[in-house]
Structure 1
């Protein structure tokens, strides 16, 4: 693999998407045989992703599959709402609480992931209701200046939070637990929150992860553990993603 070969592959990939730019998602669904659920009448949640995979033939083109793996490419469809916001933040690696506290930044799993990964962002912008238009596509990697400063600082703060004992607070009215990890509202490019919808603070539960230091609880329910909490994940902030694809936003 050479940089020239990878650049050529990326240009060829963007050229495959180009004929469909400006198309509405429902027209693309029809063209690429993406069907509604007969019971709910809704398209699959990953319908846009299915369209992109069929445009690029990632499921049947062995050469395409080989190069995506070789170049460590992650294809992500991004939805921009009518009020010009990216609908979702983007998940990054899960956090193993016991492992991360023993890592150095230089060899950390988060730094390694963001150094190696090459994203293909495919952008859909909302026109009205659930109708989206395919606006553009671009390859993107995390700039070193962000990785080695802001992202690193969040990683360091995450470790310090774990080592000092994560602060967990149970709200009996909402029946929810809050913590003191970096939030998306902190606007630091990445934040920490669960990936899965299910939560658990019980020992050995598959939705929980063991903490190396007991948590500092406020209003802890009797059946909750001091040493386990819901699995957490790093996320790319949706506002940061919007900045990286701003050239596609009307």
Structure 2
């Protein structure tokens, strides 16, 4: 197929937008759908079959003469009907030695990705649970450039990554360091390690990426034209920080009980799961707003968790997350796991209450936290790999006076995290990879670890 020829940027964009509504089987002229081993299949088909260009990893943009990079990015539809980006948008590999010599506007990130022609597609699964590539449809095509206010944050993000390179700390780069522009790992073994210029320590290969939270915001704005509520401006966050902005919003309520906050803000304090969420939206002056519709929470991938301390300052319990997928834990390497992705990409807003003598919940503080890279690579990885080992060797279930005991990693086995049951009752069970049935198990952060991270504020 001949490369698509265009006279100017307008012709390129016009042709690109003609792909909206088309399915991959209509676009694929090279039988690439038949190749089940092609990674990034959607992008490769668009590049080769729609535009007629050979797949490459050049330093300049795909359409270099007009300074436009081509990318395909998927989104999924949640049970609620809300759209979200399937994953982060991975850009170019970072050459630490070359990047150390650059400034933002000469960096490999900017020179390649300043303007991106985005092909959005809905990610659907077939009967086998795999991507239904043939029936994948292009939902939207958009020429994306960061708006000025978000670009200020992107510049700060790039500088954080760059400073670690200059300080000989490329091996300590973490996704949690930044808000919009990330440096995600690429490759999972020793052969993908890279030299860095100011340290003999090999660093993981990383690529620039636009984080999943920001991509989800784009999906919701461009495809469903959804209105998200802002609690600040990007300019304010660039001048201060998201931590400072949130502290200013919440600090007037410190020392008040949840009932006092509710009374002051004129809301009814529910007894269900929405209790704290309703309080948060009231304290942020956007009463009644679903937290998923707060632009900053979505854009910067902030999720909230409540911590309730006893009178003595100790947490009442370990912190629970979702029930785990045993099949994934048994088969997916840690480097590709959803567990690692969750703690690499998510910032957690801890809303901290403490019980007083009257057993009331007193609002104590907030903490915006992301799991340090060192913890991800050590304790979290060790927990995941031990769980994988037990699952693949066969879980030992033993009946005791207190119920069924198992040999999955418990609180005594790891100082950071463990598994324990979290089902409606003992009969709420799932099947293990070896065919046995077990009460649903949940991922928990250890309460002693929570004490340490709260003490580090």
Both structures adopt the same fold (TM-score exceeding 0.5)? yes
1:211 corresponds to 2:211: no
Seen in structure 2, the aligned counterparts of structure 1 residues 97 and 64 have a Cα distance that, compared at 3 Å, is closer
Tell me, which stretches of 5 or more residues in structure 1 are unaligned?
Answer: 38-42, 201-206, 215-226
Tell me, which stretches of 5 or more residues in structure 2 are unaligned?
Answer: 1-149, 157-233
TM-score for the superposition, normalised by structure 2: 0.45
CA distance in 2, matches of 1:185, 1:63: 35
CA distance in 1, matches of 2:398, 2:291: 50
Instruction: Tell me what 2:347 maps to.
Output: 118
Pairing partner for 1:237 from 438, 446, 450: 446
CA distance in 1, matches of 2:337, 2:258: 39
Seen in structure 2, the aligned counterparts of structure 1 residues 58 and 186 have a Cα distance that, compared at 3 Å, is farther
Instruction: Tell me what 2:304 maps to.
Output: 75
1:87 corresponds to 2:87: no
Seen in structure 2, the aligned counterparts of structure 1 residues 105 and 47 have a Cα distance that, compared at 3 Å, is same
List aligned pairs for 1:124-163, cutoff 5 A: 124-163=353-392
- Structure 2 counterpart SS, 1:120: strand
Seen in structure 2, the aligned counterparts of structure 1 residues 183 and 36 have a Cα distance that, compared at 3 Å, is same
1:103 CA displacement? 0.8
Q: Is the Cα–Cα contact under 8 Å of residues 97 and 212 in structure 1 kept in the other structure?
A: yes
1:45 CA displacement? 6.5
- Structure 2 counterpart SS, 1:125: strand
Instruction: Tell me what 2:130 maps to.
Output: none
Deviations 1:127-180 (A, max 9, x none): 213223212112100011111001110111101111111111122x44x21111
1:52 corresponds to 2:261: no
1:188 CA displacement? 2.1
Instruction: Tell me what 1:169 maps to.
Output: 398
Q: How large is the Cα RMSD of the aligned pairs?
A: 2.6
Instruction: Tell me what 2:338 maps to.
Output: 109
Seen in structure 2, the aligned counterparts of structure 1 residues 135 and 66 have a Cα distance that, compared at 3 Å, is same
Deviations 1:174-200 (A, max 9, x none): 4x2111112124442000012223233
- Structure 2 counterpart SS, 1:188: coil
Q: Is the Cα–Cα contact under 8 Å of residues 105 and 111 in structure 1 kept in the other structure?
A: yes
Instruction: Tell me what 2:79 maps to.
Output: none
Instruction: Tell me what 2:249 maps to.
Output: 16
Instruction: Tell me what 2:422 maps to.
Output: 195
- Structure 1 counterpart SS, 2:356: strand
Seen in structure 2, the aligned counterparts of structure 1 residues 115 and 86 have a Cα distance that, compared at 3 Å, is same
Q: Which has the larger radius of gyration?
A: 2
TM-score for the superposition, normalised by structure 1: 0.78
Higher relative contact order (CA 8 A, sep 6+): 1
Q: Is the Cα–Cα contact under 8 Å of residues 122 and 137 in structure 1 kept in the other structure?
A: yes
Q: Is the Cα–Cα contact under 8 Å of residues 73 and 118 in structure 1 kept in the other structure?
A: yes
Pairing partner for 1:180 from 391, 403, 407: 407
1:92 CA displacement? 2.9
1:117 CA displacement? 0.9
